Copies of this chain bind each other. A is one copy, B any other.
Amino acid sequence: MMNIGKAAAASGVSAKMIRYYESIGLLPAARRTDSGYRFYTDEDVHVLRFIRRARDLGFAVADIGGLLALWRDQGRASADVKRIALGHVAALERKLAELQGMVDTLRTLAAHCHGDARPDCPILTDLDAGGGR
Contact = CB atoms under 8 A, between A and B. Distances in A.
Interface of A: 46, 49-50, 52-54, 56-58, 67, 70-71, 73-79, 81-83, 85-86, 88-89, 92-93, 95-96, 99-100, 102-103, 105-107, 109-110, 113-121, 123-124, 126-128, 130-131
A105 B59 CA distance: 13
A71 B122 CA distance: 11
B109 A85 contact: yes
A130 B11 CA distance: 10
Main secondary structure of the interface of A (DSSP, over half): helix
Contacts of A96: 96, 99-100, 103
A32 to B, nearest CB: 27
